[in-house]
Amino acid sequence: MTNAEIHEFLEKAIGENNVMLFMKGTPEEPRCGFSLRTSGALNELDVRYAALDVLPDPRIREELSAISGWPTIPQLFIDGELVGGCDIVMEMYETGELAEKLGVEMPEGKEPAAPEVELPAQSGPIPLENRLD
């Protein structure tokens, strides 16, 4: 796949999925604490969303950031618009703004169930994704 093809694929994914999450790993097996929290918030709200793992090819992330102007992963798009990364999504989850934007009810009496970000005990200068297969 060429970069142009990846770019086109990503634009199509953003355009065709009302709720599109780009993350490290999958909702079942997140590979980064920030992606875990963000997909966790969507799971709590019980909305259908599409998720794409950016880890298999570094060019996915490069092309995605070129489209969104946002440097980090995860990135959540709703109706084709970038909503934010982990911080913004969690803030919006907590205020109920995310539920409202998605047109769902905030689960009653629920605190954000996604755990605090677990940071690697030993973090060197190598970006995490480079340590993964």
Partner 1 sequence: MPSADQLKERIEAALPGAVVRVEDLTGGGDHFRAEVVSGRFDGLSRIEQHQLVYGVFGDEVGGAIHALSIKTSTPGES
CB of 52 or CB of 83, closer to partner 1: 83
Which helix or strand (DSSP H or E) is residue 50 part of? strand 50-53
- Min separation Cβ 54 and partner 1, Å: 11
Which tokens belong to 79? 């109706």
Binding site for partner 1 (CB under 8 A): 34, 61, 65, 69-73, 82-88, 91, 119-120, 122-125, 127-128
Q: What are phi and psi of 51, to 5 degrees?
A: -130, 140
CB of 46 or CB of 57, closer to partner 1: 57
CB of 42 or CB of 92, closer to partner 1: 92
- Min separation Cβ 1 and partner 1, Å: 21
- Min separation Cβ 53 and partner 1, Å: 16
- Min separation Cβ 92 and partner 1, Å: 8
What whole-number distance in Å separates Cα of residue 55 and Cα of residue 69?
19
50-53 β-sheet, strand order: 50-53, 19-23, 75-78, 81-84
